[in-house]
Structure 1
Amino acid sequence: MSDRESAGRSVHLDDVEAVADALAADIRDTVRRFRRTGAIVALSGGIDSSVCVALAVRALGAGRVQGVTLPDKESSAETAGLARLAADSVGVRCRETDITPVLDALGCYDDRLAVVRRLEPGFDPDAGDTFSVEFQPATGDGDRLQTFALNAVRDGQARRHRLGGRDFLTIMAATNQKQRVRTLMTYRIADEENLIVVGTSNRLEIDQGFFVKFGDGCGEAFPLRPLLKTQVYDLAEFLGVPEEIRSRPPTTDTFSAPQSQEEYFYGTSVEMGDALWLAWHEGDDPARVAQRLGLAAGDVEKFFGLYARRAAYAEYLRTTI
């Protein structure tokens, strides 16, 4: 039995069509409330933004929806192509703008590279070296719930270095510029074309703070706000999101090294994470949850503690949503 079958069964949508209609109606009502003529969706080639653009078309019609994709030099080679595929599948025009020059001018790449080279001397992006930041779940009986590590990939070999607080903050502060520049560019089009911006964050991302304040945390409508990731996949299938997008593992597409959202933030599969978070949110007993999901009770308790801490930390972030 797969993770999705064992951990996600209870979180699937019962009436996908009714949910799609309700979310589309919310987008339509938001456009009317703000007296705009349509909507724009920043497309990453991922499942969330692809579902959002399909919902926007369901709400308004393809002629009143625009897509925009804003890759940079560290984006996956698939990003722009999958973004265009998502737009084409629902008949939406999609603009593409490379934001590398803006990020370069802001010091995004140089500031992060200085940290990487201090931990991994000789690191050279021009020679094909890549890096990412990875979430490290707590192990053993210690109180520490999480750490982050630099994953430097050179000559096909990955080397991990624990990131201290200042180094982690420097890398993430520079990295967050990507989301903020993308939002800036999206609103440039939205303001000129009299459109609302459709935010693409889902329920767990909003609750746990997996978004950037004044970056992808900005928008007038957030249709995925009530949905777990598993439920987003339910909608994607119903709305006809292309299989190439639905079958692609969720990625951050943030650093130069390929990286899944599991490695970066969640520490577990999408489906298992949905089941664990929902159990925590509903106040389930960790021991019963562990038995139901086939996990150790101690591991469930650590995830519950992590969710509680993240929810408290993300409170200030949610002022933008």
Structure 2
Amino acid sequence: MREKDMQQHIIEALGVKPTIDVAAEVDKRVQFLKEHVLASKTTGLLIAISGGIDSAVTAGLCKRATDELTKETGQDYRTIGVFQPYGEQEDIEHSYAVAEEFQLQHTMETNIEEAVNEVALEVEDSLKSIGVHRHVSVKGKGNIKARTRMVMQYAIAFEQNVLVVGTDHASEALTGFFTKYGDGAVDITPLSTLNKRQVKMLAEVLGVPQQIITKAPTAGLWVGQTDEDELGISYDDNSDYLEGKEVPASVREKLEQLYQNTQHKRSIIPGI
């Protein structure tokens, strides 16, 4: 496949537009959330608020959706905001700032440290039984954190009869920058066809606090981790690629290699 053909194939597969009408995109995504709540016969939405821009934008969309449903139907629909630190989270105040900005009345904090550490220890003990003596790796423990957060979210969602809302977008899908069955395990993903630049555009319109819009994106899975450092690619280049623009050859090659290598994360589970 030729270079331009590959780029266009990926853009079409992820559904990204080169330009967007921000207000229209907000309305479309709020409507999407409302329709899925009604179709699922649930009572609202659950969003894990990490303190980053993606979850902040998603929280804003969720709150609009449940507020509109409550007004339109006369029934009580709610957005539940969940904070999930691992021990002491450096930027936890940003999570609370998002909840305050969007006037979330239903919030809770579930600290995952003890559960994650217990799982990691059990993994190490299990490895010893086959003669492998090693600690769980930093990235391995990061995956445990993401999947523990997912387990907590679904346990709460089950008890409250709400949908779990994801924060992944096209820039993350392009690189496979999410944990399979962790933050990638959700019921609905309202940001899925937006790149990172477009997510920022929605953030400005929704009123996400500026300190969250301007901070370095991070998955928060280990100290000092940032998305762009880990990937070695800027979100500007990533967004340019998804908008069909020219990017340096080295960036294009790396993005396309990441896309191919992480296809299993975006595919349904294979079966005979």
Query: Is the structural similarity TM-score above 0.5?
Result: yes
Tell me, in whole angstroms, the C-alpha distance in 1 between the residues paired with 2:122 and 2:93: 24
1:69 aligns with 2:83: yes
Tell me, in whole angstroms, the C-alpha distance in 1 between the residues paired with 2:253 and 2:188: 30
Of 100, 103, 118, 1:105 maps to 118
Q: Which amino acid aligns with 1:173?
A: G
Instruction: Name whichever of 56-65 and 236-245 sits farther off.
Output: 56-65
Of 69, 72, 89, 2:101 maps to 89
Contact 1:26 1:221 in 2 (8 A): no
Identity %: 30
Q: Secondary structure at the match of 2:189?
A: coil
Contact 1:13 1:234 in 2 (8 A): no
Q: Which amino acid aligns with 1:254?
A: L
User: Could you say which structure has the higher strand fraction?
Assistant: 1
Of 33, 38, 55, 1:49 maps to 55
1:190-214 residue CA offsets vs partner (Å, 9 max, x unmatched): 0100000110001111232111111
Tell me, in whole angstroms, the C-alpha distance in 2 between the residues paired with 1:260 and 1:216: 16
The residue that corresponds to 1:244 in the other structure is 211
**Using a 3 Å threshold, how does the CA distance of structure 1 residues 304 and 272 change in structure 2: closer, same or farther?**
closer
Instruction: Name whichever of 268-277 and 241-250 sits farther off.
Output: 268-277
| Displacement after TM superposition at 1:13 (Å) | 4.7
1:175 aligns with 2:138: no
Tell me, in whole angstroms, the C-alpha distance in 2 between the residues paired with 1:246 and 1:37: 30
1:93-130 residue CA offsets vs partner (Å, 9 max, x unmatched): 2211111101111127996xxxxxxxxxxxxxxxxxxx
| Displacement after TM superposition at 1:320 (Å) | 6.2
1:230-263 residue CA offsets vs partner (Å, 9 max, x unmatched): 000000000011112112121231112x232110
1:259 aligns with 2:225: yes
| Displacement after TM superposition at 1:274 (Å) | 1.1
Tell me, in whole angstroms, the C-alpha distance in 2 between the residues paired with 1:320 and 1:66: 28
Aligned length: 234
| Displacement after TM superposition at 1:34 (Å) | 1.4
1:239-297 residue CA offsets vs partner (Å, 9 max, x unmatched): 011112112121231112x23211012x2332232113443xxxx6xxxx25xxxxxxx
Contact 1:183 1:214 in 2 (8 A): yes
Q: Which amino acid aligns with 1:263?
A: D
Tell me, in whole angstroms, the C-alpha distance in 2 between the residues paired with 1:230 and 1:303: 17
Contact 2:171 2:238 in 1 (8 A): no
* TM-score where L is the length of structure 1: 0.67
Contact 1:68 1:94 in 2 (8 A): yes
Tell me, in whole angstroms, the C-alpha distance in 1 between the residues paired with 2:64 and 2:220: 27
Tell me, in whole angstroms, the C-alpha distance in 2 between the residues paired with 1:204 and 1:108: 34
> Structure 2: 5+ residue runs without aligned partners?
1-16, 69-76, 125-133
Instruction: Name whichever of 201-210 and 184-193 sits farther off.
Output: 201-210
Tell me, in whole angstroms, the C-alpha distance in 2 between the residues paired with 1:55 and 1:317: 25
**Using a 3 Å threshold, how does the CA distance of structure 1 residues 244 and 222 change in structure 2: closer, same or farther?**
same
Contact 1:39 1:56 in 2 (8 A): yes
| Displacement after TM superposition at 1:18 (Å) | 0.6
Of 264, 274, 284, 2:239 maps to 274
The residue that corresponds to 2:72 in the other structure is none
Q: Secondary structure at the match of 1:316?
A: helix
> Structure 1: 5+ residue runs without aligned partners?
1-10, 112-166, 291-299
Tell me, in whole angstroms, the C-alpha distance in 2 between the residues paired with 1:172 and 1:201: 19
Tell me, in whole angstroms, the C-alpha distance in 2 between the residues paired with 1:242 and 1:54: 11
Contact 2:237 2:251 in 1 (8 A): no
In angstroms, what is the RMSD of aligned CA positions? 2.4
The residue that corresponds to 1:307 in the other structure is 255
